[in-house]
Structure 1
Amino acid sequence: MALETWLAFFVACWVISLSPGAGAIASMSCGLQYGFLRGYWNALGLQIGLALQIAIVAAGVGALLATSALAFSLIKWFGVAYLLWLAVVQWRSRPSAMASTSGESRSGRPLSLVLRGFLVNASNPKAVVFMLAVLPQFIHPQAPLLPQYLIMGVTMIVVDLIVMAGYTGLASRVLRALRTPGQQRVMNRVFAALFVGAASLLALVRRAPVA
């Protein structure tokens, strides 16, 4: 991959990652609930989901997803249901008063947080179709494809890890200011509403018509 092509893709990765979406909401929610170090496991799950999406595009399966209305709908509605489930969990999350001298956050199992992040990204078929449209624009068709997809995949994942660290860290700083159960309850309701909003946007997504 030529340096100028990679630089253009690098800039595109920042624009894509910084755009608010379900991944950013999930990262902020985990940062708020568990603090940065524990909540960042969610970001690892997001990257595993992202790697799966890139692999699907590289394998050509993304083209099937783009043309199959049934496959697109099944994955989309699973994603909608999962985001709504996250909203319910967030809404029902019990606030707990935080000691002003304690820097520890509420516990959360790393594996559960990784799975949570993975499902957020893996259940978004629009992301696969989007990458199917974007990634080939940076591919040199005469050069070996696997190294190019590996370079783009590593670039996207590293950039997204940095961006999600920012979202998680920002929310974890907010966490320190939430001392009362009432304040925590308000933030839980806000993030529940954001998950519902993300689910609603995903529900409105339509597969692009096949030419």
Structure 2
Amino acid sequence: MTLTVWLTFLVAALLISVSPGAGAVNSMSSGLRYGVRKSLPTIAGQQFGYGVQIVLVGAGLGAIVASSNTALMVIKWIGVVYLIWLGIQKWREQPVEATRADLSGFSPRQQFWNGALVNLTNPKATIFLIALFPQFLVAGAAHGQQLATMGATLILVDILVMVGYALLASQLFRFMTTPKRQRQMNRVFGGLFVTAAVALASFKRA
């Protein structure tokens, strides 16, 4: 992969990550509640899920999922249900004392797997990667190395963007000093999770 091709792919990767989606909502929700540092397990989990998608596509299994309506529909509706569940949980979440040092219920392992499931249950990522990768593969060159480069680029860019989203959301914490404001923000993010679920439910392959 030449530098020019890689830079073009880098721009595409940046646009993909910046585009709001379930991962961005999840990162912002975690950043608002826990702060940037404690959002890292969530972001790491999302990258694990993203990485699995990349490996599946690179190994050719993504093509099998993409060609099977049954497999695609099962993954799709698992993702829809999971996002709705996250939305309901966020909507019902109780206000907490306005100091992050005393926040309860934080589990890095749970945050990691929550983040992983958000990306693992998103078939749009599989379809997108199958459509994206061939556009940048150079014929005659080793595909493995090219796919590894593109996969690493996607993940590194997504990490930076998701940390940025978490940082942006964490700045809102200073305004979340009253139970009323916390409930309002929880319901905003709960609604965003459900909106992401509706968007996923309406997704149809071309």
TM tier, smaller: over 0.9
| Structure 1 Cα separation of the partners of residues 202 and 94 of structure 2 | 31
1:57 matched to 2:57? The reply is yes
| Structure 2 Cα separation of the partners of residues 176 and 36 of structure 1 | 14
Match of 1:186 among 181, 184, 187: 184
| Structure 1 Cα separation of the partners of residues 41 and 102 of structure 2 | 14
Other structure's SS at 1:40 match: helix
Which residue number corresponds to residue 69 of structure 2?
69
| Structure 1 Cα separation of the partners of residues 189 and 102 of structure 2 | 18
How far is 1:40 from its partner?
2.2
| Structure 2 Cα separation of the partners of residues 106 and 32 of structure 1 | 12
How far is 1:104 from its partner?
2.6
Which residue number corresponds to residue 203 of structure 2?
205
| Structure 2 Cα separation of the partners of residues 126 and 155 of structure 1 | 19
Which residue number corresponds to residue 87 of structure 2?
87
Opposite residue 200 of structure 1, the aligned amino acid is V
1:158 matched to 2:140? The reply is no
Opposite residue 45 of structure 2, the aligned amino acid is G
Q: Is the 8 A contact 2:32 2:173 kept in 1?
A: yes
Match of 1:118 among 109, 116, 119: 116
CA, structure 1 residues 105+68, in 2 after alignment: closer, same or farther (shift >3 Å)? farther
Match of 1:106 among 103, 108, 112: 103
Which residue number corresponds to residue 33 of structure 1?
33
Show CA shifts across 1:56-96 (max 9, x none): 11011111111110000000000000000101110111102
TM-score by length of 1: 0.94
Which residue number corresponds to residue 139 of structure 1?
137
How far is 1:105 from its partner?
5.9
Identity of aligned residues (%): 47
| Structure 1 Cα separation of the partners of residues 50 and 102 of structure 2 | 27
Q: Is the 8 A contact 2:34 2:100 kept in 1?
A: no
Other structure's SS at 2:101 match: coil
CA RMSD, 1 decimal: 1.1
| Structure 2 Cα separation of the partners of residues 119 and 105 of structure 1 | 27
How far is 1:27 from its partner?
0.4
| Structure 1 Cα separation of the partners of residues 115 and 68 of structure 2 | 25
CA, structure 1 residues 87+30, in 2 after alignment: closer, same or farther (shift >3 Å)? same
Q: How many residues align?
A: 205
How far is 1:103 from its partner?
5.2
Other structure's SS at 1:142 match: coil
CA, structure 1 residues 105+13, in 2 after alignment: closer, same or farther (shift >3 Å)? farther
Q: Which segments of 5 or more consecutive residues in structure 2 lack a partner in the other structure?
A: none
TM-score by length of 2: 0.96
